[in-house]
Amino acid sequence: MKTKIKFIASGILLVTIMAVLGCTTQNNGSGALSSNVAERAYVAPGEHDEFYAFVSGGFSGQLSVYGLPSGRLFRVIPVFSVDAEKAYGFNEETKPMLETTFGFIPWDDSHHPDISQTNGEIDGRWVFINANNTPRIARISLETFETEEIIEIPNSAGNHSSSFVTENTEYVVAGTRFSVPVPQQDISIDEYKSNFKGAISFIGIDQESGRMNLDFQILMPGFNYDLAHPGRGKSHGWMFFSTYNTEEANTLLEVNASQNDKDFIAAINWKKAEEYIQQGRFREMETAYAHNVYDESTHMATSTIKRTVKVLDPAELPGLVYFLPTPKSPHGCDVDPTGEYIIGSGKLSAALTAHSFTKMLDAIENERFDGEAYGVPILNYDDVVAGVVEQAGLGPLHTEFDTEGNGYTTFFISSEVVKWKVGTWEVVDRKPTYYSVGHLMIPGGNSRKPFGKYLLAMNKITKDRYLPTGPELTQSAQLYDISGEKMELILDFPTVGEPHYAAGAPADLIAPRSKKFYELDDNNHPYSIKNESEARVERDGNVVHIYMSTIRSHFAPDNIEGIKVGDRVYFHVTNLEQDFDVPHGISMIGANTSELLIMPGQTETFVWEPKKVGVWPFYCTDFCSALHQEMQGYVRVSPRNSDIELSWSLDGE
């Protein structure tokens, strides 16, 4: 027995020594274990991520904010869909954000976020994102991480080749996927050819406020405009759009829009467009579109309808647009960091096409055209092509770049990411995705200065990657480390909705400017109160306004009497806190709306139409302090004909 113990003891000792050595090695972060894949995506508790990723919500209509490399979800910013959690589209302040010329719309399909740029580099001021279904562009502040502005796009349908910014955020572009009659009219669908137009919109951005203005539209032939990217560096001043359905089919596009061997990349010279606008060579067209602006000082949005748009006709304006033949229904239309190469991803082909900007200019100068389409000159494929990445994979969709002269392209059909060399067009690496990857994102990958450390692939099919949750599965994203010669898959994480594009930025570009709370002194909401002595209730006929405040942990007032059935009661609630991360919530039993979630220094409003006589409680919905459960109040509701006087109090005063 003794020997046995000795044996066990030395065994344990050995194991312990090994464990100690092992953990020491790990602490130092060197040695064999440091190349561990999990470690590279691991951000320790309390540590911060290196990058922000703004990932489109697809059919959720929102924009998700993740950290990279951890894949942790920080926030879902409501943009085009209502969000009961944040009262977006429910409170009186944000309802106007979702107004359109079709009325209030509670949902959309958000696709392509793009971060504002200065000198071709992302600058972290704003993110823009498009609504695909009812065409709109939104601007989100990266100080508050709130949607500040939404502009509707007239003459457009399926707002897909959007919302891409130019090198100094001069414009955000929005192109139509579905061509439509412009202006809309009651004609037969068979009259598609030559009667349908594709509107490309240039939305000017005020550099101080970020405010958007629909500066002009170019009425293009009735193709489908799929994606776009800006020229940069030498090609600054140009915008490139991929097209498909140059067949102009209006039924069974699956077959009928896949007939042509080549479709086009449209090269639009927007500096030229500006000249034509200055010369007055535009048509002022009557139309209607909503412009919704959230004002941070009043904490309220307003919606106005605008009535005209300047329209340019490329057939009449030489030098404005050229078509670059590109195989085969190109989806992605991506420009490398130097601005020389425009990459067309023919989604029904196996190859990528790289056009040369220099060759394009040369062909234009020498007027080497191969006919025209609706008055727009078509260049010769052989005159503009710089190279082809042959047999790279099946179904190329989208390309981004690193700093080392490599392109990275997603292939939907063959389910992989392929790394290739810009200039020599040779494939240098490929890695599978799980499964059917759509788009990818490298932070800064659509700019002059990419941060080529991580690549985020956003997949369309999830299948067996996670525990099943019934027939509906979350979409899946995958993170690759691209800092080495070979790409390495380091993380899978689920996403919100179905992401299309994403945009990423280094955390230190954004985090230091992130707002902590709203200054109470700057709150110009017409129903705000600055302290509890201003708390009150006012009646105007059957409309009642409650001027209420919150602070840890009580409402003022918290006892209200004299409300009657049939009243329309507005709760205007100001959060008097002036510290980071102290929101308060409020909800009222039976109110036909969401809670409010009020940030420090902010005022929000919900409407309650009491239907039943009685004494009804309201309470704070966001855990605010140890006394949160005590944060509550009562409203007495009397019959319609009651003569009980309006009164309110807190602690009997």
Site for another protein in 544-583 (CB under 8 A): 549, 551-554, 556, 576-579, 582
| 288 counts as binding another protein under rule CB under 8 A | no
For the beta carbon of residue 640, count every other beta carbon within 10 angstroms. Answer: 10
Q: Does 5 bind another protein (CB under 8 A)?
A: yes
Residue closer to another protein, measured from CB, 182 or 624: 624
Nearer to another protein, 467 or 626 (CB): 626
Interface with another protein: number of residues (CB under 8 A): 35
16 binds another protein per the rule CB under 8 A: yes
Measured at the CA of 548, the angle between CA 546 and CA 549, to 5 degrees, comes to 175
Q: Cis before residue 600, ω within 30 degrees of 0?
A: no
Measure the CA–CA gap between 540 and 568, rounded to whole angstroms. Answer: 10
Binding map of another protein across residues 445-464, x = CB under 8 A, - = no contact: --------------------
Give the residue, chosen from 19, 84, 187, 589, that forms a contact with another protein under the rule CB under 8 A.
Answer: 19
- Shortest reach from residue 530's CB to another protein, in Å: 5
Is residue 4 near another protein by the rule CB under 8 A?
yes
Residue 65 interacts with another protein (CB under 8 A)? no
Q: Please state, in angstroms and rounded to a whole number, the distance separating the CA atoms of residues 139 and 116.
A: 10
**CB nearer to another protein: pick between 381 and 517:** 517
Nearer to another protein, 23 or 288 (CB): 23
CB of 502 to another protein, least distance (A): 34
Nearer to another protein, 390 or 519 (CB): 519
CB neighbour list of residue 149: distance below 8 Å, 6 or more residues apart: 138, 139, 210, 211, 212, 291, 292, 293, 294
How many other β-carbons are positioned within 10 Å of the β-carbon of residue 27? 8
Calpha distance 295→275 (Å, rounded): 33
Site for another protein in 70-129 (CB under 8 A): none
Q: How far is the CB of 129 from another protein (least distance, A)?
A: 32
Nearer to another protein, 11 or 318 (CB): 11
- DSSP, collapsed to helix, strand or coil, labels residue 177 as coil
DSSP-derived pairing of the beta strands 300-312 and 212-220: parallel
SS3 645: coil
Q: Does 32 bind another protein (CB under 8 A)?
A: no
Alpha helices in 181-269 (DSSP H): 192-195, 253-256
Residues 517-536 that bind another protein (CB under 8 A): 517, 520-521, 530-533
CA distances in angstroms from 552 to 596, 598, 652, listed in the order given: 16, 13, 19
Cβ proximity of 422 and 445 under 8 Å: no
Token pair 């590109």 is found at 326
Q: Which segments within 80-191 are labelled E, that is strand?
A: 99-100, 103-104, 114-118, 121-131, 136-141, 146-152, 164-165, 171-175, 180-181
Tokens representing 612 are: 């039943």
The interface mask with another protein, positions 582-621, x = CB under 8 A, is x---------------------------------------
For position 651 contacting another protein by CB under 8 A, the verdict is yes
Q: How far is the CB of 579 from another protein (least distance, A)?
A: 4
CB 590 within 8 A of CB 611: yes
Judged by CB under 8 A, which stretch of 21-29, 100-108, 261-269, 431-439 contacts another protein? 21-29
Separation of alpha carbons 356 and 297, rounded Å: 47
How far is Cα 110 from Cα 541, in angstroms, rounded to an integer? Answer: 42
Strands in 51-56's sheet, in edge-to-edge order, are 73-77, 63-68, 51-56, 502-506
Interaction of residue 33 with another protein, rule CB under 8 A: no
24 or 256: whose CB is closer to another protein? 24
Binding mask 329-368 for another protein (x = CB under 8 A): ----------------------------------------
Q: Is 475 or 574 the residue whose CB approaches another protein more closely?
A: 574
CB of 50 to another protein, least distance (A): 22
Contact string 478-517 vs another protein (x = CB under 8 A): ---------------------------------------x
Rounded distance between C-alpha atoms, residue 65 and residue 72, angstroms? 9
Q: Which residues contact 584 (CB under 8 A, 6 or more apart)?
A: 550, 551, 552, 573, 575, 577, 598, 620, 622, 624, 631
Please give the helix or strand (H or E) that residue 235 lies within, else none. none
| Interaction residues for another protein, span 617-636 (CB under 8 A) | 625-627
Q: Is 271 in the site for another protein (CB under 8 A)?
A: no
Which of 572, 640, 571, 567 minimizes the C-alpha distance to 609?
567
- The piece of 16-24, 79-87, 270-278, 500-508 that touches another protein (CB under 8 A) is 16-24
Binding site for another protein (CB under 8 A): 1, 4-5, 8-9, 12-13, 16, 19-20, 23-24, 27, 517, 520-521, 530-533, 549, 551-554, 556, 576-579, 582, 625-627, 651
